[in-house]
Amino acid sequence: MIKELKIENLHVSLGEKEIIKGLDLRIKQGEIHALMGPNGSGKSTLSFAIMGHPKYKVTRGNILLNGRDMTKLSTDERARAGLFLSFQYPSEIPGVSMANFLRTAYNQVNKISINDFMALLNGQMQLLKMDKDFAKRYVNVGFSGGEKKKAEILQMAILKPKYAILDETDSGLDVDALRIVANGIKRLSDSGILIITHYQRILHYIKPNRVHIMIDGRITNSGDYRLAEDIEKKGYQEAK
């Protein structure tokens, strides 16, 4: 069996408006893909549709994870199957510590003792240069933009999904935080990763296997890393 996230002829609507208009994409486990495009092209809609957000209706097509059809599964079922979404604007969860939140999520797939989990958590926080007290803080409450993005990468590092969609993870990061986040992503070498971004700067640290341009709900061009360089020089319309 080929291990891949395969999206076939996907059509997605929000209310009466069709946003994704027949999109095909294949990401093998271990590959990193970048999805770039102007505002309003449907990139975030695609990420929500892959994870099963109830507001986004799949009207045609399929989402397959390692051959298993995810299209009609609930969001939690998709997450347990190995899908992960890093949000562009992560929500605050007052009263729930990062440690409790992550251990609860981890235990949905793999049972682990408190001591073993804390050793795992502290090790990953150290790699991401995060203070140990971070584990005691409520999820995203009072976090800076950079801390929220690091928290998303920490979740991914703990849960080790089969496939991860990162929606503008580089947004709002300074140079040091960007490098730390990029290194955290690169350590997940067994995962298939889709990085949604407007900018080339994170791709300086993470060289994707493939780069895709998305315009008006469709992928209009795909190529290697040089396509991202063309976008930087020419813009989306000429590079497409």
pLDDT of 197-240, one tens digit each?
A: 887 888 888 889 999 999 999 999 999 988 988 887 877 766 66
Residue 195 lies in a domain: yes
What CATH number corresponds to the domain at position 45? 3.40.50.300
Name the 3-class secondary structure at 84: strand
Residue 124 lies in a domain: no
Residue 47 lies in a domain: yes
Residue 45 lies in a domain: yes
Cβ atoms of 137 and 101 closer than 8 Å: no
Residue 214 lies in a domain: yes
Q: DSSP label at 135?
A: G
Residue 234 lies in a domain: yes
pLDDT > 90 fraction of the chain, expressed in percent and rounded: 63
pLDDT of 149-192, one tens digit each?
A: 888 889 999 999 999 999 888 877 888 888 888 888 888 878 99
pLDDT of 40-53, one tens digit each?
A: 999 999 999 999 99
Average pLDDT over residues 23-34: 95
Average pLDDT over residues 68-82: 94
Residue 117 lies in a domain: no
Residue 47: give the domain boundaries: 4-90+162-239
CA pair distance 20, 12, nearest whole angstrom: 5
pLDDT of 102-161, one tens digit each?
A: 999 999 888 899 999 999 999 999 988 888 899 999 999 998 888 888 888 899 999 999
Name the 3-class secondary structure at 113: coil
Buried (b) or exposed (e) across 3-31, using 16+ Cβ within 10 A? bbbbbeebbbbbeeebbbeebebebebeb
Residue 140 lies in a domain: no
Average pLDDT, the chain: 90
Number of domains in the chain: 1
Cβ atoms of 227 and 233 closer than 8 Å: no
CA pair distance 202, 182, nearest whole angstrom: 7
233 or 193: which leads in pLDDT: 193
Residues 6+ apart with CB under 8 A from 24: 7, 8, 9, 10, 219
